[in-house]
Amino acid sequence: MINYLFACDLDNTLIHSYKHRTDDDICIEIYNGREQSFISSRAVELLKEVVKKVLFIPVTTRSIEQYQRIQWIEGTKPEYAVVSNGANLIHNDDIDFEWKSYFFNEHIQPYTDELNQQQILLSQNPNFTICRVVDDSFLFLKCSDTLDVDRISSEIQKQTNLTTQYSGRKIYLFPPSLNKGEALFQLKKLFNPEKVFCAGDSVIDLPMLILSDISFIPITLTNYLNHNHRLFIQV
């Protein structure tokens, strides 16, 4: 049995974009020849200690391709990673097809027609600069700068059975049970940890944060969690 499992969101939790770069940050992702994502030197030091003591598993909405762009610092690379908001498990750079098959059959396949229909419909909207299905799992939209993301997300939700969530200028349409909570549930079945720690920064992370024993969250998420849940709050 694994003593401790640490399931951690990536973007804006452990790593951050070039827009928030500081002098001591280390580039961890290059995209189209440009430095894209960074991790702080302090986070690297702490992560090296963490991976020695617990099973560290990133749980991210990033696609397989986006995750594989990350260049982990020596001593920090995880053996496992959950990507595509739970749809895929990567083990030592390889896709776990048993995990993939389970999530597709149980959580995605019933909604593939709806995903395709919404893609056709929303791709005709000029307010979305990107509209694509990610890893055959969910629909991703990137909004133009002029769009009221909260309003448009609410409007989309009214016309679909998919779960509509947004972060910044990005809108996601997920099959209802394709979420990080289900991913964490499967990780707990797989590794049977004694205790689970989680970290996340957005409502997309809430399903796994709720299932953890201890959560590390920004103050903006405190109202979403039960007051009995043990929290470590980041300001």
Does residue 83 sit in the same domain as residue 18? yes
**Final residue before a domain boundary, out of 140, 159, 174:** 174
Task: Determine the pLDDT at residue 157.
Answer: 96
Domain that holds residue 134: 107-174
CB of 234 within 8 A of CB of 33?
no
Instruction: Tokens 């969101």: give the residue.
Output: 9
Q: How confident is the model at residue 235 (pLDDT cuts 50, 70, 90)?
A: very low
Does residue 169 sit in the same domain as residue 136? yes
| Global model pTM greater than 0.85 | yes
- Rounded mean pLDDT, 47-65: 97
Please write the tens of the pLDDT for every residue from 111-136: 999 999 999 999 999 999 999 999 99
Does residue 95 sit in the same domain as residue 197? yes
DSSP per-residue codes, 39-79: EEHHHHHHHHHHHHHSEEEEB-S--HHHHHTB-PPTTT--S
CA 108, CA 101: separation in Å to the nearest integer? 10
Does residue 37 sit in the same domain as residue 151? no
Report the CATH number at residue 96: 3.40.50.1000
**Final residue before a domain boundary, out of 159, 174, 189:** 174
Does residue 11 sit in the same domain as residue 84? yes
Say how many domains are in the chain: 2
Does residue 12 sit in the same domain as residue 98? yes
204, pLDDT greater than 60: yes
Task: Determine the pLDDT at residue 219.
Answer: 83
* Amino acid at position 6, single letter: F
Task: Determine the pLDDT at residue 187.
Answer: 98
